[in-house]
Structure 1
Amino acid sequence: MFPKCEDGGKLILRLVLGLLILFHGVWKLQHGVGFIGDMLVKHGLPGALGYLVYIGEVVAPLMIVLGILGRFGALIIVINMVVAVALVHTGQLFTANPKTGGYALELDFMYLFGALSLLASGMGRFVIGGSRLN
């Protein structure tokens, strides 16, 4: 019915995943990451680690969108999402959203598994950074 275009599908996934996570990063650039530092301190970690979110939500999404070391960017997003779930959402791991009935962490898991998918499959041929590390 439709011609197969794996590279086009990877491009769509890259753009959607990267741009949606980038919105979170831009918000943090505008409002700061102090609240993340506070959460880290509550878990016995240095608050300064909160600044790493800029790598996970600004640099890594740009790497994926542009296809510059995209698989490395996907790995960074995977780590970022695992840390976010561990810090903020562990109480919701086995719960449903009371308003919609969907999984409480569906957006977090879409980001996590979208990044895992790109990590496993690569960025496709529509990249700026060449295909060697994508």
Structure 2
Amino acid sequence: MLDNADLGKLIVRLTLGGLLLFHGIAKLFHGVGFIEGQLASHGIPAFFAWGVFIGELLAPLMVILGYQTRIGALLIAFNMLVAIALVHSHELLSLGGSGGWALELQGFFLFIAVAVVFLGPGRYKLKN
């Protein structure tokens, strides 16, 4: 019998991982120069920019596949906290152009990742 809770967890995992994966793929093709610059402007060594591939490629794949899902979701949450702190902190209490929260996308990734940390992968996952 199909378990609605496990199906819901799968949908959440696929949405979180799938949407964030596009950001990682874009950085794979276009580089991390912007992130290197942001890190350097905060006195952080630029080579840490390569960590974005962990947070936006590896971690989303872990979440999508259900392999070490909670660890993958925790990596995504950390990635989003760093992005918010380095690039978006000035928008934390701002409205966007269409009236929503300026950080809707970052907030979505952060809070859904935290939810996945607590929910776990559900039944539909790779065995680990």
CA distance 1:117–1:26, change in 2 (3 Å)? same
Q: What TM-score comes out, normalization by structure 1 length?
A: 0.92
Distance in 2 separating the partners of 1:129 and 1:93: 39
* Stretches of structure 2 lacking an aligned partner (at least 5 in a row): none
1:15 corresponds in structure 2 to 14
- Sequence identity percentage: 49
Equivalent position of 2:70 in the other structure = 71
Verify: 1:46 aligned to 2:6, yes or no.
Answer: no
- Following TM superposition, the consecutive aligned residue runs of length 4 or more in structure 1 with deviations greater than 2 angstroms are none
Equivalenced residue count is 127
The unaligned stretches of length 5 or more in structure 1 are: none
Q: Report the counterpart of residue 98 of structure 2 in structure 1.
A: 100
Q: Tell me, yes or no, if structure 1 residue 109 matches structure 2 residue 121.
A: no
Give the Å deviation of 1:34: 1.3
Aligned-pair distance for 1:35?
1.2
Q: Could you say which residue in structure 2 is the equivalent of 1:121?
A: 119
TM-score, length basis structure 2: 0.96
Query: What is the CA-CA distance between 1:60 and the residue it aligns to?
Result: 0.2
Task: Note if contact 1:69-1:129 (Cα within 8 Å) is conserved in structure 2.
Answer: no
Is 1:88–2:87 an aligned residue pair?
yes
* 1:66 and 1:129 in contact (8 A); partners too: no
Does residue 29 in structure 1 map to residue 34 in structure 2?
A: no
Q: How far off its partner does 1:129 sit?
A: 2.8
Q: Distance in 1 between matches of 2:61 and 2:11?
A: 14
The residue type paired with residue 110 of structure 2 is L
